[in-house]
Amino acid sequence: MIYLDNNATTATDKRVLGKMLPYFCEIYSNPSSVYKFAQSARKAVEDARASLAKLLNCEAEELIFTSGGTESNNTAIKGVAFAHQNRGKHIITSKIEHHAVLHVCEYMQELGFEVTYLDVDKYGLVDIEQLKKSLKKETILTSIMLANNEIGTLQPIKEIVKICHGNNTYVHTDAVQAVGRISVDVKDLGVDFLSLSAHKFYGPKGVGALFSRKGIKFQPLLLGGGHEKGRRSSTENVPGIVGLGEAAALALESMEEDEKRIRPLRDRLESGILKTIPEAFSNGHPSQRLYNTSNICIRYIEGEGILINLDFEGICASSGSACTSGSLDPSHVLLALGLPHDVAHGSLRFSLGKDTTALQVDKVIEVLPSIVQRLRSMSPFWQQK
Ligand SMILES: *Cc1c(COP(=O)(O)O)cnc(C)c1O
């Protein structure tokens, strides 16, 4: 199998699993209990918090463990909106956010909040001038993703923070595709909230974290026993949290090396495809882009058809986001770039990981042209062009 869908999820690193295993059947205590047996579980949770804090350059207390990127995004947006609505009910986001941000914003609109969805340019960069014009006294939060999951474009978060803070507006960033892959320094970025998820960087699924700058109030999403200093109730997912901590430690060690190896493979894949397939082009920013992501539009055929044929060859890739596959709507991200519907339908996303090899990349370059040729020969659009 050739797995080129690492933006959907990654394999849990065996070293991560190894660290997690004792916390199921041996050190299974509830970290909040009073006896000594509980202290080793508590220590494991706090060690993981310190490890993640080191990766992000923040204080350990500024991190709240959650069930993943979706919960972190929900907590930040609803939490700030509910806690600061007396000051205003306006939120700014972009048209290319993950559904775990967009659908929350749409929900906030139903509750009477006003939401501005910023446009992006053809590379997927948010319109900074439109951001400046959209900010008003009532704007309490701007939520812009750090790295886009479909096209990999990296947003100028630092600049966005400066502009928003000048208007007393908090900034949240969905950094799920960035943390563990590229250096993410919350102090340098200046953001107030940041979401991350373990399973996007070789940790387990179902665990993530929210960075929440010290002193900034938000309403917790989950109420209950008051865990995580009242910010997220529910007994800690100790094995998952340990896994997240270990994934963070490994990322800190290997991120630079991973980039050095993966970027040339991604470039080789992309240029190999664009060289051999006519009427194809890549999406996303040429340089301000995640080094593992290649999104390619192949005109006159549908991405889904290509995917099925790649699957016959043992190659896993995606078209649009995993969450929308199964629906026939083209990707909202590609539409926001200004691509027409029919072209957006012909998109493929390859996302490489640390186990991707040159041999695998070459196999894709080898099999894709004949798949495309076969599908195009059956396509009325190709014949009429
Ligand atoms: C995967 C992803 C999410 C959702 O994270 P989960 O941990 O799966 O809930 C949110 N935002 C982005 C950009 C993602 O890629």
Pairing verdict, β 193-197 and 208-212: antiparallel
14-251 fold: Aspartate Aminotransferase; domain 2 (3.40.640)
Please count the residues of the chain. Answer: 385
Q: Give the span between the Cα atoms of 224 and 351, in whole angstroms.
A: 39
Which amino acid is residue 266, in one-letter code?
A: R
Atom 12 (ligand 1) nearest CA:
176
The full DSSP string for 334-365 is HHHTT--HHHHHTEEEEE--TT--HHHHHHHH
Q: How far is the CA of 95 from the centre of ligand 1 (A)?
A: 16
Dump pLDDT digits (tens) for 203-233. Answer: 999 999 999 999 999 999 999 999 999 999 9
Q: Name the residue of 96, 151, 176, 323 whose CB sits within 8 Å of the most ligand 1 atoms, as the mutation to test its pocket.
A: 176
Q: Is the dihedral of CA 63, 210, 219, 131 positive or negative?
A: positive
Q: Residue 237's pLDDT band (boundaries 50, 70, 90)?
A: very high
Q: Give the span between the Cα atoms of 342 and 274, in whole angstroms.
A: 19
Q: How far is the CA of 288 from the centre of ligand 1 (A)?
A: 20
pLDDT at position 324 over 60: no
The set of residues, in sequence order, having a beta carbon less than 8 Å from that of 226 and lying 6+ positions away, is 233
Q: How far is the CA of 368 from the centre of ligand 1 (A)?
A: 28
Dump pLDDT digits (tens) for 334-361. Answer: 999 999 998 999 899 999 999 999 999 9
Atom 6 (ligand 1) nearest CA:
69
Q: How far is the CA of 197 from the centre of ligand 1 (A)?
A: 7
C-alpha 120 chain-centroid distance: 18
- Supply the pLDDT for residue 381: 81
For helices 303-312 and 358-377, angle between their N-to-C axes, nearest 10 degrees: 130
Atom 4 (ligand 1) nearest CA:
69
Residues of the chain with CATH 3.90.1150.10: 2-6+255-384
The set of residues, in sequence order, having a beta carbon less than 8 Å from that of 11 and lying 6+ positions away, is 3, 202, 353, 355
pLDDT at position 98 over 70: yes
Pairing verdict, β 139-143 and 90-94: parallel
Active site residues: 323
Which two three-digit tokens encode residue 5? 């869908």
pLDDT at position 321 over 60: no
CATH class, 2-6+255-384 region:
alpha beta
**Ligand 1: residues whose CB is within 6 Å?**
68-70, 98, 100, 145, 149, 174, 176-177, 197, 199-200, 208
Atom 3 (ligand 1) nearest CA:
69
- Supply the pLDDT for residue 322: 45
Q: How far is the CA of 96 from the centre of ligand 1 (A)?
A: 13
Report residue 363: phi and psi, to 5°: -65, -40
- Supply the pLDDT for residue 323: 45
Which amino acid is residue 371, in one-letter code?
A: I
Dump pLDDT digits (tens) for 16-38. Answer: 999 999 999 999 999 999 999 99
- Supply the pLDDT for residue 329: 80
Q: Name the residue of 7, 9, 65, 70 whose CB sits within 8 Å of the most ligand 1 atoms, as the mutation to test its pocket.
A: 70
pLDDT at position 379 over 90: no
Which two three-digit tokens encode residue 14? 């065996």
Q: Which atom of ligand 1 is nearest to the CA of 7?
A: 15
The set of residues, in sequence order, having a beta carbon less than 8 Å from that of 350 and lying 6+ positions away, is 4, 5, 266, 269, 293, 294, 295, 296, 317, 364
Q: How far is the CA of 176 from the centre of ligand 1 (A)?
A: 6
Q: Which atom of ligand 1 is nearest to the CA of 9?
A: 1
Residues of the chain with CATH 3.40.640.10: 14-251
The set of residues, in sequence order, having a beta carbon less than 8 Å from that of 379 and lying 6+ positions away, is 300, 301
Q: Name the residue of 6, 12, 98 whose CB sits within 8 Å of the most ligand 1 atoms, as the mutation to test its pocket.
A: 98
